[in-house]
Amino acid sequence: MDYNHITNFLDKFKKLVNQKEEIKEIVLNTIKEEIPYPIEKESLIIKKGFILINSSPVLRSEILIHKEQIFKKLKILLPDTKFLDIK
């Protein structure tokens, strides 16, 4: 029995997951370049064009201060990905 079609189908999902992880890593590194506070990878969620950060209010305020610069860098690094807001 040939299971090659199932392998190909599952490879598509594997590529999507890897792509999402790469985008998350780029966003995390871009934010880290702009603010002096450490951010955990687990506290960052990207969902429907929104970057959600579960952290202290001080960190979120600092990110909002640098939001415009962060979006400029992300637009250069990820031109095919559209981000709407950071929350």
Q: How confident is the model at residue 29, as a pLDDT? A: 92
Q: How confident is the model at residue 1, as a pLDDT? A: 57
**Hey, how many other C-beta atoms are within 10 angstroms of the C-beta on 7?**
9
Q: Does the predicted model carry a pTM greater than 0.85?
A: no
Backbone angles phi, psi at 51, to 5 degrees: -100, 115
Distance of CA 52 to the CA centre of its chain: 9
Does residue 72 have a pLDDT over 90?
A: yes
Distance of CA 70 to the CA centre of its chain: 12
Q: How confident is the model at residue 19, as a pLDDT? A: 79
Q: How confident is the model at residue 80, as a pLDDT? A: 85
pLDDT band at 78 (very low <50, low <70, confident <90, very high): confident
pLDDT band at 10 (very low <50, low <70, confident <90, very high): low
